[in-house]
Amino acid sequence: MLKCIPLWRCNRHVESVDKRHCNLQTVPDEVFRYSRSLEELLLDANQLKELPKPFFRLLNLRKLGLSDNVIQRLPPEVANFMQLVELDISRNEIPEIPESIKFCRALEIADFSGNPLARLPDGFTQLRALAHLSLNDVTLQTLPSDIGKYVSQKHIAICFYTKNSPIKCFGVNNFFVCVLNVTDYLK
C-alpha cells in the first residue's frame, strides 16, 4: 500500500506533488518549499476545508487538483495563478467563483462540478484560453450577460447537467456538450 512520504525527504526542485487520498486536513507546509519549481499539485480526495495564504504563492502552478474536498471558499488570490492551465475544484462546497478568476488567462480546462454555484462571475468570459468547462451538478440561476458573444467567438466544450437549474438546455437527460441554449444572452 502506498503511504504519503514526507516531502522534505525529496529533492528541493520538485515539479509535481501528488498527495491524493492522504486524508489531509490542511495543505502540508512542505508543499510551500517548492514554490519556485512546483507546476503540478494534486490534493484531490482529502479533507481540506480552506486554502491558506501561502498556497497562493505557488505562482508556477500549471495544474491544480482540489476535487473531492470540503473547501468552502475559493479566495480572490486565485488570480495569482496566471500560469494555471488546468483547475479541478469539483465536488467541494464552494458557492461562488471569485471575479478575480479572470486573471487566470492561461486557464484551458476548468471543472467546477458538484459545487453549489448559482452563477458564474461576469469576468469569467475574459478567460480566452478556456476550451473545456465542466459544470455538472450545479444549480446555475444565471449566466454572465455576454456569454453568448463568448461562446459564439470560439469553440468551447461546456458540459453540465441542469436538473435543478432554471437555465433551459436541450439534449438527452438535460446533459449537453458544446450545445448551450444562450439565445437570451445573444446580442
Assess whether pLDDT exceeds 70 at residue 11: no
Give pTM, 2 decimals. Answer: 0.80
28 is a domain residue: yes
- Provide mean pLDDT across the span 8-14: 65
> 69 is in which domain, residue-wise?
16-161
Are the C-beta atoms of 117 and 95 separated by less than 8 Å?
yes
- Give the chain's end-to-end CA distance (angstroms, integer): 56
145 is a domain residue: yes
Q: For position 172, what pLDDT does the model report?
A: 33
10 is a domain residue: no
Q: Which helix (H) or strand (E) holds 148?
A: helix 147-152
Residue 81 confidence class, pLDDT cut points 50, 70, 90: very high
Are the C-beta atoms of 21 and 66 separated by less than 8 Å?
no
Report CA-CA distances (Å) from 92 to 12, 53, 67, 166: 31, 19, 7, 22
Q: For position 141, what pLDDT does the model report?
A: 81
Question: Pick the residue with more confidence: 78 or 12?
Answer: 78
Among 45, 5, 47, residue whose Cα is nearest residue 26: 47
Q: Which CATH number does the domain housing residue 115 bear?
A: 3.80.10.10
Q: How many domains does the chain have?
A: 1
Q: For position 182, what pLDDT does the model report?
A: 39
174 is a domain residue: no
Cell representation of residue 131: 476550451
Assess whether pLDDT exceeds 50 at residue 58: yes
Question: Pick the residue with more confidence: 161 or 83?
Answer: 83
Q: For position 9, what pLDDT does the model report?
A: 52
Question: Pick the residue with more confidence: 12 or 93?
Answer: 93
Burial class (CB in 10 A: 0-12, 13-18, 19+), 6: exposed
150 is a domain residue: yes
